[in-house]
Amino acid sequence: MANENHIVLGYSNYCFDLWLVLHKKEYDGTVQNQDGYADVLRSVYGLEPDANIKKEKRVRQIVDQIDLQDVKLAIHRAESIADNNKNKNGRDVDKAAEFIKKQSVYDGVIVNTSEYI
């Protein structure tokens, strides 16, 4: 379906899972492995407890629940996490926060959201 509609889905490991969670919920927990956010993600998006969140069908179910207001909230939440991490660790994460601010996944497509903020 994505190919037929010229939609490219792209994600990488658990950072993407956190990004999806942030669209719907404040979350600043840590995880130990790539499946660490899976239960939170399933809960937030109303998926079955054993749903494979890496399958295109599940990703589509999640993305279909995201609207522009959710994108704005996710950006704000990600910036808060970046600020907290910078303060806690003394690490400079401004570049990552700026990237997150400018990019988002909306309707399965990476789009520039800086004009909407």
pLDDT grade for 11, boundaries at 50, 70 and 90: very low
Where is mean pLDDT largest: 9-13, 30-34, 65-69?
65-69
Reported as a single tens digit per residue, the pLDDT across 49-77 is 999 988 889 999 999 999 999 999 999 99
**Chain mean pLDDT for the chain:** 76
Percent of the chain with pLDDT over 90: 34
CA distance 17 to 19: 5
**107 closest CA partner among 18, 22, 2, 14:** 2
CA distances from 4 to 7, 29, 44 (A): 8, 37, 29
